[in-house]
């Protein structure tokens, strides 16, 4: 094992003898499968799925220009986040670093695992404080979560800051790119070949329109992915999910068309918001949502709920005081929202 992984993995994980499933012990061609206690009558779903999802990974590898061995697939990116914490962080001893305001699951996964969270807030313009992060880093800060474009702020992190953190942070740097499809900034995916401590997360839940199938991707060098595969539940991605993802990958034009619409709608909503007296600040966004500061976020939130329109009230979150996070909907939904906002502003 690499010096790097030996240093970072939890000792019980480094010693782990993983579960060996029927489908992983026999590889090859056969016509009679009496090894997994399945029901033999074919209904398309009576067999266990491929534990390592090779067909799907081969398609993703071509699309993303990585090797299949550099891909882990999880039950949402949330599973990858959870496995990272459990692989690397000794409860009560190690820590993760998050940069609030950011996605909540990093902290929840750490809390569940009994792992301490070190919060190093973003600057006023929502950028990482590189010096403070590196100052706080030691041999027990195993994971640093960077979310870019960041949820709930919508902005991308400066590439120089991100690269400085990847180069100098002593643990694993997880860059969560759930929203990168909506951004002009290039993905960090190609950098996994250069940095053994880099894990990039992406998901089918946002631009691909498949939040319901629960499929997230983690990309890293092959040795790191091998450990994901050892600690994951054996059949973590079901057959229906694998099929739905492969079907979607065959029709990229559907997603591209939707993406164009959403980006146009994002501009349109920002323009409409910028002309409303209730708007105090609109934050730059590279995602499929907009963070907007208003005078009375709770009042506006309730007004919209009464109109049957639900946005995310982020006004109690650090650095997001007064803010609502609005997801870009269909053109029709966005019109309804804008109309309601104009009615509210005219009250």
Ligand X SMILES: *Cc1c(COP(=O)(O)O)cnc(C)c1O
For residue 174, the cross-strand partners are 145, 199
* Strand (E) or helix (H) holding 135: helix 130-136
Residue nearest to ligand X (CB): 76
d(CA 7, CA 171): 9
Q: Which one of 78, 94, 107, 265 is in contact with ligand X (CB under 6 A)?
A: 78
Binding part of the chain for ligand X, among 10-18, 76-84, 157-165, 242-250 by CB under 6 A, reads 76-84
Could you please report the per-residue DSSP string of 260-329? HHHHHHHHHHHHHHHT-TTEEEE---SSSEEEEEES-HHHHHHHHHHTT---EE-TTSTT-TTEEEEE--
Determine, following the binding rule CB under 6 A, whether residue 176 of this chain makes contact with ligand X: yes
Determine, following the binding rule CB under 6 A, whether residue 208 of this chain makes contact with ligand X: no
Nearest-5° Cα angle at 155, 279 to 314:
50
Site string for ligand X, 36-75 (x = CB under 6 A): ----------------------------------------
98 vs 141, beta carbon nearer ligand X: 98
Residues 216-275 close enough to bind ligand X by CB under 6 A: 216
- Of the CA atoms within 13 Å of residue 128, those in its CB half-sphere come to 31
CB–CB of 142/172 below 8 Å?
Answer: yes
Residues 97-126 close enough to bind ligand X by CB under 6 A: 103
Residues 144-173 close enough to bind ligand X by CB under 6 A: 147, 151
Determine, following the binding rule CB under 6 A, whether residue 128 of this chain makes contact with ligand X: no
Q: Which long-range contacts (CB under 8 A, 24 or more apart) does 20-26 make?
A: 21/48, 21/51, 21/234, 21/235, 22/48, 23/48, 23/50, 23/51, 24/51, 24/52, 24/234
145 vs 169, beta carbon nearer ligand X: 145
Instruction: Tell me the closest approach of the beta carbon of residue 202 to ligand X, in angstroms.
Output: 8
CB–CB of 86/113 below 8 Å?
Answer: yes
Instruction: Tell me the closest approach of the beta carbon of residue 109 to ligand X, in angstroms.
Output: 11
99 vs 147, beta carbon nearer ligand X: 147
Q: Which one of 51, 68, 76, 297 is in contact with ligand X (CB under 6 A)?
A: 76
9 vs 288, beta carbon nearer ligand X: 288
Q: Which residue ranges make up the site for ligand X (CB under 6 A)?
A: 76-78, 103, 147, 151, 176, 178, 203, 205-206, 211, 216
């Amino acid at each position: 094992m690499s010096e790097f992984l030996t240093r970072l993995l939890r000792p019980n994980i480094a010693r782990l003898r993983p579960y060996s499933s029927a489908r992983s012990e026999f590889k090859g061609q056969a016509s009679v499968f009496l090894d997994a206690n399945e029901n033999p009558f074919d209904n398309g779903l009576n067999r266990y799925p491929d534990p390592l999802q090779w067909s799907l990974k081969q398609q993703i590898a071509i699309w993303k220009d990585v090797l299949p061995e550099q891909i882990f697939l999880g039950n949402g990116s949330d599973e990858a986040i959870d496995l990272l914490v459990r692989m690397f962080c000794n409860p009560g001893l190690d820590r993760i670093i998050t940069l609030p305001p950011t996605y909540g699951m990093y902290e929840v996964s750490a809390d569940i695992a009994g792992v301490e969270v070190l919060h190093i807030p973003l600057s006023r313009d929502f950028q990482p404080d590189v010096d403070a992060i590196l100052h706080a880093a030691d041999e027990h800060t195993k994971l640093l979560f960077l979310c870019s474009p960041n949820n709930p702020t919508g902005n991308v992190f400066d590439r120089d800051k991100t690269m400085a953190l990847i180069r100098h942070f002593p643990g694993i740097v997880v860059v969560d790119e759930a929203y990168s499809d909506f951004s002009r900034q290039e993905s960090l995916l190609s950098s996994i070949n250069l940095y053994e401590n880099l894990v990039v997360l992406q998901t089918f839940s946002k631009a691909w329109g498949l939040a319901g199938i629960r499929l997230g991707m983690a990309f890293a060098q092959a040795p790191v992915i091998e450990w994901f595969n050892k600690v994951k539940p054996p059949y973590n991605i079901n057959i229906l999910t694998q099929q739905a993802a492969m079907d979607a990958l065959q029709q990229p034009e559907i997603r591209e068309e939707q993406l164009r619409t959403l980006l146009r709608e994002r501009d349109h909503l920002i323009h409409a918001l910028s002309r409303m007296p209730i708007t105090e600040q609109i934050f730059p966004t590279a995602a499929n949502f907009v963070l907007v500061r208003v005078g009375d976020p709770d009042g506006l939130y309730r007004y919209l709920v009464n109109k049957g329109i639900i946005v995310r009230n982020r006004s109690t979150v650090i650095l997001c005081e007064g803010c609502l996070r609005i997801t870009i909907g269909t053109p029709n939904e966005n019109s309804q929202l804008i109309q309601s906002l104009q009615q509210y502003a005219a009250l």
